[in-house]
Structure 1
Amino acid sequence: MRPAGRPVVRLLGQVWLWPAVVMLAVGGYRLGTPDLWRDEMATWTVATRSLGDLLRLLQHIDASNGAYYLVMHVWTAVFGDSTVALRMPSVLAMAGAAAFVALTAERMFGNRVAAVGAGLLFTVPPEVSRYAQEARAYALVTCAIAAATWFLLRALEQPTWRRWAPYCVAMALAGAGHLISFSTVAGQAALVLLHLWRTRGSVDRRLLWRYPLAVLVAALPVLPVVLLGSRQSDRQLGWIEKPSAGGLLHFGEHLFGSHLVFYAFAVLALPVLLLPGRRVQAWQALLLAELPVVGVWVVSQGDTSYFIERYLLFTMPAWAVLAGGGVGAAYGFATGLAGRLRLRSGARVAAGALAVGMLAVPAAAALPKQPAVRYVGSHNGSEEPFRAAAAVIAAGYRAGDGMAAPLGDQSWAMVWPGVSYYLPSDVHPYPVFVAQSADDAEDLSPAVCDLPASCLGQGARIWLLVLGDTRDPLTAVPDDEAQALRARYGTPDQVTPVGGFTVALLDRDS
């Protein structure tokens, strides 16, 4: 009989397990502490709508996030819409990405030290923690690209359709989650070409047409997202500035969330790039990390820019694979040198200590930055204090109160859904200056009323929210709305700046 504990022992020996467990711990730590920010509010307000309302909205805005919203629609229906519930899929996805990083490094470098090291290194950068704790698609896309890389390596070794199929699925999921992730094809193409060069004596010529065909098959399900997203790009991406050459040069520092961590990764990669043995595989990982960034930078020199670090977070697994390969190469060099010098006693222990020390350097560099992505306002800074504004309203709320929040040109701030999310379940101010609810308007925020005086409602009191800290909130709203409020309510009785918003109470009976 097979010992009952043997499957457990085998599981514990898998190179992907411990990176995934560590990523779960790192991503789950203080998961519910940072307040949701406006992008996460978009996820909440869309995912919790009916399926019909969700699909109608995607025809007007955010089609590029449509696949993610559908996933979250199902998720919230099962697990609810608390802050932890909204973010948990991202934590799980980053853990999956860490597992695939380890598997990819093992396949590229044939070294368990490189594999485990790569998976653990992936958990280190502050930006990985940041987006493991965000209710957006970036973590899921990162996991899909990490999986696609591993599936691609398997298919290159044995290019059968059974091995190409999961690659196609992973790439389609990544593209549907975020179109920019398809830029990884530039790095994958370089990886394939280097593989053909490395195996030129026994190359399988089927790769010459099967890889392009697999990319085409993966792209077909993404085409509807491309068509819808292209019509919506001006509204969604117009705020991103065209990147400079300096922006490309220093992009890694922003991608990692710490220039010290980025430089530590770069130094760790040197052994595998310089020492003989796996240099071709190291260049495959480097090009996989760099070419998508360069490609997006070039495209962003046109009318629309896409060059922002979170859009390119999916390149982080390749950086971790490369750095892990460096750790494995240094370990192998140290053990080989000890063998040649006949220093067998304690040689592996010393080489292991070297590998652990190499892993500790970026971890130590990242440690001071980790709290910065976990405090209450870390996702939104001081500009979106939804919870603080909701607390002011809840403390003074009376049944029949109304609420007016920035809409129209200021709807990007997501104040209405953001404050509504944090209001207690028994606090229901009626909407002021709203012509249609967000659901009826098929948008992320309610539609603004064209005739403010007719949309005041009959309440004796209105809670007014405006952007910025001000002692005179009526000067921060459109003139026609301010005129309607002054005519019925006069000046505000209570003005409370909350660090990015101002909450004012207008009472016509006072």
Structure 2
Amino acid sequence: MLVTGLWGIRRQGSMWRDEAVTYDMAHRTLAELWPTLRTVDAVHGLYYVLMRGWFLVFDGGVVALRLPSVVAMAAAAAGVALLGRQLAGRRAGLFAGLVFVLLPMVQQYAQEGRSYAMVCALVVWSTYLLARVAARPSRRLWAGYGALSLAACLMHEFAVLALPAHGAAVVLSGLPRAVRRAWCVVAGAVVVALVPMALFSMGQSEQLSWLQWPNPVQLGTFIALVLGGLLCSRAPVARAGVQRLRLRPVALPLLVLPTALLVLLSQLKPMYVDRYVLYYVAGFALLAGAALDWVLRPAGRRGQTRRRLVYRSVALAVVPALLVPVNVFLRSPQSRTDDAIAVTRAVEELSSPGDGLLFLPSRRRVWAAADPHEFHRLRDLALDRSPVASHTLYGTELTGDRIQEHMMQTRRIVAVGDAKGQPLDDTDQEIAKRTVLRAAFQVCATRELTGAQVTLYARPGYC
């Protein structure tokens, strides 16, 4: 996992908008970061603080931005392998870890400057400690399980959805009542400790206003993994002792419950994105690892012919080969929604010092966080207070009338906005920008980019 994570980590020097937010927030001082978290992105606060400390040690651009995620996902892969060994034996654990590494979602978020790889690692290791404490209860292991579970929840609140999966594992495995009672106490303590942050972040729920019904591709991926996991669960697995968790009661709830609960919650308010519960793929990896262990056992132990074993081995080798093009694509700039670095390059090509600058809509000002020095050459015609000064992600803008006044005093404007076909915001500021550009300016040049468009406008005669 560490090797594949380092492979193509620069992603050809690209950085998409969420990573640009991380890069910006991690470069703010704690005095600047705290007031921002009081108004926005509190759910990622712990991650930003950790990344702030990391950048003080190593400020190496996109490599530094993504390296913690690579290391975290490597830790998650190790945790999956150890958990599989604990539940189903050494070979099953090894195969589970390898399956986890090959999954495209794991490859994608191992190279993303966001908190999801860390959350995945924390949930996997808390599950491993749960398996250990179920086998040999001790206060030290219970404390470790609670600490890791709470850390995962503080890193991202939706990690709390792993607790119902753990509860199902404890019940379905038929553990003694004392173990079930101890789990309830620890899980309850984690939830109580999380409540203050959850209540605080609920006031920032407008951040999820961009979410609609669950993405069909993401939902389809989840359904495919569930079906694959159910198929793999039919393979025989060595039964564990009465005081140990068993593979299926651990893996199936971890695979199904977090995502299913998040989809159900999305009926009240849209909030489903697969990366919020990325750790569910560990459940599939555990089941697939046990199934591979069964399929690849020596033929003599199950009376298989050597030819059948060769056929199965070849079939299993084809799957990783088919994933190679996918994993190569994930290391390209086109694999993400947009590319803030490409936007910066386009602005540099089209603009001259002193030109006007507009972001349409204003939240696309986050692209400037990837390379703020380049944007300082231009005059942001709509900006009232910068993101840092306003303690926001995107800054605050002037009124529509003031923006119109500034635009009419400018000869050339570089407009940075969404790609064609995206919904248009209907605020006074956005309407003023679009109206003046259509009425008083002409298009001189345009750069079409992944998820973005940069256009140079000028008054007649100044192209």
TM-score (norm 1): 0.78
Q: 1:270 aligns with which of 234, 237, 248?
A: 234
| 1:441 partnered with 2:398 | no
Instruction: Say which SS state the counterpart of residue 50 (structure 2) adopts.
Output: helix
Q: Distance in 2 between matches of 1:491 and 1:32?
A: 38
Aligned to 1:464: 415
State the number of aligned residues: 449
Q: Distance in 1 between matches of 2:315 and 2:138?
A: 38
Instruction: Say which SS state the counterpart of residue 128 (structure 1) adopts.
Output: helix
Residue identity in the other structure for 2:359: A
- Which range is displaced more, 164-173 or 391-400? 391-400
Aligned to 1:73: 52
Q: 1:254 aligns with which of 221, 246, 271?
A: 221
Q: Distance in 1 between matches of 2:133 and 2:362?
A: 46
Percent of residue pairs bearing the same amino acid type: 25
Instruction: Say which SS state the counterpart of residue 30 (structure 1) adopts.
Output: coil
**Distance change >3 Å, CA 312–CA 133, structure 1 → 2:** same
Aligned to 2:257: 291
| 1:50 partnered with 2:17 | no
Aligned to 1:498: 448
Q: Distance in 2 between matches of 1:149 and 1:335?
A: 35
**Distance change >3 Å, CA 137–CA 354, structure 1 → 2:** farther
| 1:152 partnered with 2:130 | yes
Whether the aligned pair in 2 keeps the contact of 1:47 and 1:70 (CA below 8 Å) is: yes
Q: Distance in 1 between matches of 2:321 and 2:413?
A: 51
Whether the aligned pair in 2 keeps the contact of 1:328 and 1:355 (CA below 8 Å) is: no
Whether the aligned pair in 2 keeps the contact of 1:449 and 1:455 (CA below 8 Å) is: no
Aligned to 2:325: 368
**Distance change >3 Å, CA 107–CA 361, structure 1 → 2:** farther
TM-score (norm 2): 0.85
In structure 2, runs of 5+ residues without a counterpart are: none
Residue identity in the other structure for 1:337: R
Q: Distance in 1 between matches of 2:326 and 2:412?
A: 44
In structure 1, runs of 5+ residues without a counterpart are: 1-22
**Distance change >3 Å, CA 335–CA 115, structure 1 → 2:** farther
Q: How far off its partner does 1:159 sit?
A: 1.9
Q: Distance in 2 between matches of 1:329 and 1:24?
A: 27
**Distance change >3 Å, CA 187–CA 326, structure 1 → 2:** same
| 1:123 partnered with 2:72 | no
Aligned to 2:184: 212
Whether the aligned pair in 2 keeps the contact of 1:397 and 1:427 (CA below 8 Å) is: no
Q: How far off its partner does 1:104 sit?
A: 0.2
Q: How far off its partner does 1:399 sit?
A: 3.5
**Distance change >3 Å, CA 97–CA 485, structure 1 → 2:** same
Q: How far off its partner does 1:389 sit?
A: 3.2
Q: Distance in 2 between matches of 1:210 and 1:327?
A: 34
Q: 1:89 aligns with which of 59, 68, 71?
A: 68
Q: Distance in 2 between matches of 1:426 and 1:308?
A: 31
Q: How far off its partner does 1:45 sit?
A: 1.7
Q: 1:112 aligns with which of 83, 86, 90?
A: 90
Larger Rg: 1
Q: 1:377 aligns with which of 334, 347, 354?
A: 334
Q: Distance in 2 between matches of 1:49 and 1:206?
A: 47
Q: Distance in 2 between matches of 1:357 and 1:435?
A: 62
Residue identity in the other structure for 2:295: A
Q: How far off its partner does 1:83 sit?
A: 1.5
Q: How far off its partner does 1:106 sit?
A: 0.5
Aligned to 1:187: 165
Q: How far off its partner does 1:350 sit?
A: 9.9
Instruction: Say which SS state the counterpart of residue 333 (structure 2) adopts.
Output: coil
Q: 1:452 aligns with which of 403, 406, 422?
A: 403
Q: How large is the Cα RMSD of the aligned pairs?
A: 3.4
| 1:227 partnered with 2:199 | yes
Whether the aligned pair in 1 keeps the contact of 2:77 and 2:100 (CA below 8 Å) is: yes
Q: Distance in 1 between matches of 2:435 and 2:270?
A: 39
Instruction: Say which SS state the counterpart of residue 456 (structure 2) adopts.
Output: strand
**Distance change >3 Å, CA 142–CA 495, structure 1 → 2:** same
Q: How far off its partner does 1:503 sit?
A: 1.9
Aligned to 1:480: 432
Aligned to 1:395: 349
Q: 1:316 aligns with which of 265, 281, 293?
A: 281
Residue identity in the other structure for 1:432: L
